[in-house]
Amino acid sequence: MATLFTEPPKPPSLTRPMATPKKALVVFEILKKDYPNPRTELVFEDPFQLLIAVILSAQCTDARVNSVTPGLFAQYPTAEKLSNASAPVVEKLIHSCGFYKNKTKAIIQTAKSLVERFEGKVPGTMDELVSLAGVGRKTASVILNQAFDLPAIAVDTHVARVSFRLGWTQSKNPLKIEQDLKKLLPEDLWALVNGTLILHGRKICKARKPLCADCRIAKQCPSAPKTKL
């Protein structure tokens, strides 16, 4: 008698051989030379400005954010001022960043949280940062790195993709990827990981067609020369 249910075919394995800390370090040292200044391109003068700029940068280029933040911060230079802002005025100021209604709500709410719970200052720990409205682990890691010079690894789409292809992680979950990267690379490099992998991901290890022939770490990469992600 025929069975009603059959096992679905197993998907092809998407895993890569996992790198060792030693091998990952060799690769990262090459990337560090190729991308010597991997800091954020967002322009900011203090942690508050960076936090707001990072929230605005969702689905938007850093250059575009940099074009609106001077006007925004001229009018609302502190969390206290922004927490009392009129939404239509803020919407007009940040309009060109896209999703301006949601982003306006998010930055005013974040400013309110800062005023209500942190005396208007941006806190300097992961737990406090992620407790703020509109702040996830990725944004918090960027703030810790760039505003406070603390070790953290922000995992975005480029970091996830490049790490996976390099065999630095076998996960697609940002928190697990962050944990895998922290086990592989020494703490003094964590602050460089996000910027370095973003630059490599944008320039060489592109999402659709990675330029493996031009990649200086192809010899060490388990996904070269053919990559399917």
Q: Which residues are catalytic, by number?
A: 138, 156
If binding is defined by CB under 6 A, does position 16 make contact with ligand SF4?
no
Binding ligand SF4 (rule: CB under 6 A), the pick from 20, 166, 167, 188 is 166
Single out the residue of 116, 117, 127, 130 nearest to residue 51, CA to CA: 130
Question: In this complex, which beta carbon is closest to ligand SF4, that of residue 83 or of residue 163?
Answer: 163
* Shortest distance (Å) from residue 102 CB to ligand SF4: 33
Is-contact 38 198, C-beta < 8 A? Answer: yes
Q: Under rule CB under 6 A, how many of the chain's residues touch ligand SF4? A: 14
If binding is defined by CB under 6 A, does position 185 make contact with ligand SF4?
no
Residues in CB range of 153: below 8 A, 6 or more apart? 141, 159, 178, 181, 182, 190, 193, 194
If binding is defined by CB under 6 A, does position 221 make contact with ligand SF4?
yes
Question: In this complex, which beta carbon is closest to ligand SF4, that of residue 97 or of residue 180?
Answer: 180
If binding is defined by CB under 6 A, does position 30 make contact with ligand SF4?
no
The span of 60-68, 102-110, 190-198, 213-221 binding ligand SF4 (CB under 6 A) equals 213-221
Question: In this complex, which beta carbon is closest to ligand SF4, that of residue 140 or of residue 215?
Answer: 215
Largest CA distance in the chain: 77
Neighbours of 28 (CB within 10 A): 22
Which tokens in the block code for residue 210? 């990675």
Question: In this complex, which beta carbon is closest to ligand SF4, that of residue 19 or of residue 217?
Answer: 217
Which tokens in the block code for residue 130? 């992620």
* Shortest distance (Å) from residue 173 CB to ligand SF4: 20
User: In angstroms, what CA-CA distances link 206 with 60, 141, 180?
Assistant: 18, 23, 22
Q: Whole-angstrom distance between the N-terminal and C-terminal Cα of the chain?
A: 40
Which tokens in the block code for residue 224? 């070269």
Residues 49-88 within binding reach of ligand SF4 (CB under 6 A): none
If binding is defined by CB under 6 A, does position 204 make contact with ligand SF4?
yes
Single out the residue of 25, 23, 21, 27 nearest to residue 217, CA to CA: 27
If binding is defined by CB under 6 A, does position 165 make contact with ligand SF4?
yes
Binding site for ligand SF4 (CB under 6 A): 165-166, 204-205, 210-212, 215, 217-218, 221, 223-224, 227
